Copies of this chain bind each other. A is one copy, B any other.
Amino acid sequence: MRIITISREFGSGGRELGKRLSDTLGIPCYDHEIIDMVAEKHGLDKNYVSHVSEKDIRVFYPSTIGHRFLTNQSALQQPVKIAAAQQEMIRQLALQGDCVIVGRCADVLCRDMNPLNIFVYADRLSKLQRCENRADESEHYSEKEMFRKMKQIDKERATYRELFTEDKWGRKECYHLCINTSGKEIKNLVPAVAAYVNAWFGQD
């Protein structure tokens, strides 16, 4: 079974790489779709699920239950349940067969399924450029604001990862393959990554 997980720095093009890679390999890619599936299965609002899934959910975790200002315990437990539902969904999807999973600590959650774990990164300027290229016209960030946003989102990803493992987010030691997309068009990198993936699973 070919499970490929993509972890990535914000702006590195990891999401695009995952999507294009799955197209090339002819297998599904799970990214935002996971949110939608969890929301649908549990009858919840997609935006709400997305919010609690992608932000630092440690603040919601049971250790906060004893907080003296706590008044609504069930409201705090809900995010924990959603996180658990997302984890379950990721494992279920992976068990269904070959796929690419972007983010969400799938590398850790699916460790027993021998995934190929890829980390995608780039230098600051390349990431800035990519963010600017894909920004909506309504979004107006200064360069400084964008760098701050990049840093903040990566920090949230690192923090989220800490819930599952002691392996540090972004440390090359935690992945099988690390790909630098600086100055590269993602679509031009895909054939190389696809070739690597095919050869990797061909002999495993």
Contacts and interface: CB of A to CB of B under 8 A. Distances in A.
Contact of A196 (B121, B180, B193): B193
A180 B121 CA distance: 16
Give the oligomeric copy count: 2
Contact of A121 (B172, B195, B199): B172
A195 B202 CA distance: 12
A135 interface: no
Interface in A186-204: 188-189, 191-200, 202-204
Nearest to A180: B176
Contact of A177 (B178, B194, B199): B178
A150 interface: no
Given A121-B173, A175-B180, A199 B203 contact: no
Given A173-B123, A179-B177, A192 B200 contact: yes
B172 A188 contact: no
Contact of A195 (B179, B188, B198): B198
B188 A203 contact: yes
A123 B194 CA distance: 25
Interface of A: 119, 121, 123, 172-173, 175-180, 188-189, 191-200, 202-204
Chain A to chain B: the 4 pairs with minimum beta-carbon distance, closest first: A195-B195, A192-B199, A178-B178, A191-B199
